[in-house]
Amino acid sequence: MKRYLVFEDGTYFEGKAFGSDVETIGELVFTTGMTGYQEAITDQSYNGQIINFCTPMIGNYGIAKKFDESPKSYIKGVLAREICETVGNYQSEMTIDEFLKQENIPGIYDIDTRAITLKIRKAGALKAAIVDSLNAGLIDEISSWKLDAKQLEKSVTPTKQTFEGSGKHVVMLDYGYKKSIVDELQKRGLKVTVVPGNTAVADIENLKPDGILLSNGPGDPIDHTDILGNIVELEKEYPVFGICMGHQLLCLANGAKTFKMKFGHRGFNHPVKDLETGKIYFTSQNHGYAVDPDSVAQTDLKITQVELNDQTVEGVEHKKYNAFSVQFHPDAMPGPHDADFIFDKFIERLNK
């Protein structure tokens, strides 16, 4: 069956339908990762977005639920040049088509994903719709769409969750966290308690943490300004580590500014340079907002890492308090594990 991808500027691409038969509107973004389609689809940082996969074929190793990054997917759609209906993986439980039907997510395949990527790179992130037929009022509907803050809230931990460990106790403030972050902490023996990102400081103190982790998550970090004061209080008392959205929030809390990128960083081929050691490592990333480097100079933060392609701020450290953050994902599921030492750095600070 034919299915259409329609942009807010009126242009459209035609392909074939797979996944759910619902029609949807979202922000269209692309990811350059050659594997990890399941992790991307279940990554809560993609909430409200249609994912265009640059790799020519997805679905070849099927879906195994144990690799989900969250219990449910909140993306708006999937675009693929080709999908594989024959799965070659003993762990697979279903095809990607079956998975998207289960999650009520529409998809389009046999579509020119390269041309779509080039369009976004030139024009920037655009709103788009996945529909089965074209109609006159569709463009107005796409243009008026915006990501609902209540939709984003659905991806956040509603109540406290505890993951046992024999070592130090980390409280993670959840803005839409990936399971792989908890996995990396537990590999190192830490006990992890996940709480909503707006949890009061007093309630966090009652949990008797040894350190605080600010998680990744979707949306504009400016929407979380109500909790920036909490981060300021926490960094005075505990070691604080921020990842992705958590990095942006740590910077905002300390007086820096953020901005929306033209088309963001999504994939795991992003080279990052450590300004202290001079070392360069490839990283996994998924973000559409970044920290303004000029604004950091007016704060008590110092820039510790930059992305080599566009000089994006990739890491900061507080000059007075035991707080630091990275824009990339050191958990890297999927992706290169060049930067998983960042978790060890956090543990060293907890032990001090």
| Residue 267 zone, left/alpha/beta (φ > 0; ψ -120 to 50; rest) | left
Cβ atoms of 47 and 219 within 8 Å: the answer is: yes
Catalytic residue among 43, 68, 97, 331: 331
As a whole number of angstroms, the distance between CA 26 and CA 145 comes to: 8
Annotation marks residue 331 as catalytic: yes
295 is in an annotated binding site: no
Helix axis angle, 245-253 to 228-237, nearest 10°: 90
Residue 1 annotated in ligand binding: no
Q: 60: annotated binding-site residue?
A: no
Token pair recorded at residue 129: 């719709």
286 is in an annotated binding site: yes
| 289 belongs to an annotated ligand binding site | yes
Any binding-site annotation on 261? Answer: no
245 labelled ligand-binding:
yes
Active site residue 224: no
45 marked among binding-site residues: yes
- CA angle at 232 for the pair 228 and 233, rounded to the nearest 5°: 115
- Measure the CA–CA gap between 324 and 346, rounded to whole angstroms: 9
Write down the catalytic residue from 244, 251, 265, 287.
244
54 catalytic residue (yes or no): no
Q: What is the 3-state secondary structure (H, E, C) of the chain?
A: CEEEEEECCCCEEEEEEEECCCCEEEEEEEECCCCCHHHHHCCHHHCCEEEEECCCEECCCCECHHHCCCCCCCCCEEECCEECCCCCCCCCCECHHHHHHHHCCEEEECCCHHHHHHHHHHHCCEEEEEECCCCCCHHHHHHHCCCCHHHHHCCCCCCCEEECCCCCEEEEEECCCCHHHHHHHHHCCCEEEEEECCCCHHHHHHCCCCEEEECCCCCCHHHHHHHHHHHHHHHHHCCEEEECHHHHHHHHHCCCCEEEEEEEEEEEEEEEEECCCCCEEEEEEEEEEEECHHHHCCCCEEEEEEECCCCCEEEEEECCCCEEEECCECCCCCCCCCCCHHHHHHHHHHHC
Q: Which residues are catalytic?
A: 244, 329, 331
Binding site: residue ranges?
A: 45, 217, 219, 245, 248, 286, 288-289
Binding site for L-glutamine: residue ranges?
A: 45, 217, 219, 245, 248, 286, 288-289
